[in-house]
Amino acid sequence: MKELRDLATKLLAEGTVNVVLGWEEGPRGVRPAFATDAAAAGRLVFDPRCTQNLVPYLSPRRTQVKKLGKAAVVVKGCDARAVAGLVRETQLAREDVVVIGVRCGGVIADPASPEPLSPATVADRCPGCNSREPKLADHTVGELPAAPPGESRRDVRIADLEARTADERWAFWQDELGRCVRCHACREACPMCFCERCVADKTQPQWVDSSPHPRGAFAWNVTRALHLAGRCVDCGECERACPVDIPLGLLNLKLARVASERFGYTATDDPAVPSPVGSFQKDDAQEFIL
Binding-site partner at residue 48 among ligand SF4, another protein, none, CB < 5 to 8 Å by type: none
Q: Which x/- pattern over 192-211 shows residues binding another protein (rule: CB under 8 A)? A: ---------x----x--xxx
- Cβ atoms within 10 Å of 139's Cβ, excluding its own: 17
**Residue 201: contacted member of ligand SF4, another protein, none (CB under 5 to 8 Å, by partner type):** another protein
Per rule CB under 6 A, is residue 259 in the interface with ligand SF4? Answer: no
Which lies closer to ligand SF4 via its Cβ, residue 7 or residue 173?
Answer: 173
- DSSP helix/strand/coil, 60: coil
Q: How many of the other CB atoms lie within 10 Å of CB of 227? A: 19
* Residue 101 β-bridge partners: 75, 140
Map the footprint of ligand SF4 across residues 105-144, applying CB under 6 A: 106-107, 123, 125-126, 129, 131-132
CB of 131 to another protein, least distance (A): 22
* Of the residues 101, 150, 191, 271, which one makes contact with ligand SF4 according to CB under 6 A: 191
Residue 236, interface with ligand SF4 (CB under 6 A)? yes
Instruction: Identify the H or E element spanning 141.
Output: strand 139-141
Compute CA distances 172 → 161, 164, 179, 239, 272, whole Å: 9, 10, 12, 17, 38
- 20 counts as binding ligand SF4 under rule CB under 6 A: no
Q: Collect all residues with Cβ–Cβ distance below 8 Å to 21 and sequence separation of at least 6.
A: 32, 33, 34, 35, 54, 57, 58, 65, 71, 72, 73, 74
Listed residue (149, 160, 159, 161) closest to 124, CA to CA: 149
Q: Is residue 149 at the binding interface for another protein, with CB under 8 A as the rule?
A: no
Region binding ligand SF4 by CB under 6 A among candidate stretches 136-144, 150-158, 237-245, 282-290? 237-245
Nearest of 153, 135, 226, 218 to residue 182 by alpha carbon: 218
Residues of this chain that bind ligand SF4 (CB under 6 A): 76-78, 104, 106-107, 123, 125-126, 129, 131-132, 148, 180-186, 189-192, 221, 228, 232-238, 241-244, 246, 252
